[in-house]
Amino acid sequence: MTSNKALWGGRFEQQTETSLQAFGASLPFDRRLWYCDILGSKAHAHMLGAQGIIPATDAQEIADGLDAIAAQIEAGDFVFDLVDEDIHMSIERALTAAIGDAGRRLHTGRSRNDQVATDFRLFCKAQAEALALRVNELRGVLIEVACDHPSVVMPGYTHLQKAQPLLFAHHLLAYYWMLARDFKRLVAAQDAADELPLGSAALAGTSYPLNRRQVADELGFAAVTANSLDAVSNRDFALDLLYACSVTMLHLSRLCEELILWSSSEFGFITLSDAYSTGSSIMPQKKNPDFAELVRGKTGRVFGDLQALLVTLKGLPLAYNKDMQEDKEGVFDAVDTLEASLRAVAGMLATMQVNAETMRAGALGGFMAATDLADFLVAKGMPFRDAHEVVGRIVLQAEKTGRTLQSFSLAELQAFSDVFDAEALAAIDIDKVVARRTTAGGTAPVQVAEQLNQARRQLAADTHLLQGVASATA
Residues involved in catalysis: 159, 280
Residue 302 backbone class (left: φ over 0; alpha: ψ -120 to 50; beta: rest): alpha
Separation between Cα atoms, residue 182 and residue 474, nearest integer Å: 24
Beta bridge partners of 380: none
**Angle, in degrees to the nearest 10, between helices 168-192 and 112-148:** 160
Hey, what amino acid is at 274?
Answer: D
Secondary structure of residue 153 in the 3-state scheme:
strand
Beta bridge partners of 155: 165
H/E element, 271: strand 270-271
Hey, what amino acid is at 169?
Answer: A
3-state secondary structure string across 42-65 = HHHHHHHHHCCCCCHHHHHHHHHH
3-state secondary structure string across 197-256 = CCCCCCCCCCCCCCCHHHHHHHHCCCEECCCHHHHHHCCHHHHHHHHHHHHHHHHHHHHH
Contact residues for 471 (Cβ-Cβ < 8 A; gap 6+): none
Buried b (16+ CB within 10 A) or exposed e, 25-62: bbbeebbebbbbbbbbbbbbbbbbbeeebbeeebbebb
Looking only at the bridges linking them, the beta strands covering 195-196 and 223-224 are parallel
Q: Report cis status (omega within 30 of 0) of the bond before 319.
A: yes
Residues 166, 443: contact at Cβ < 8 Å?
A: yes
Backbone angles phi, psi at 447, to 5 degrees: -75, -35
Separation between Cα atoms, residue 260 and residue 278, nearest integer Å: 13
Give 68's Cβ-side CA count (13 Å radius).
Answer: 14
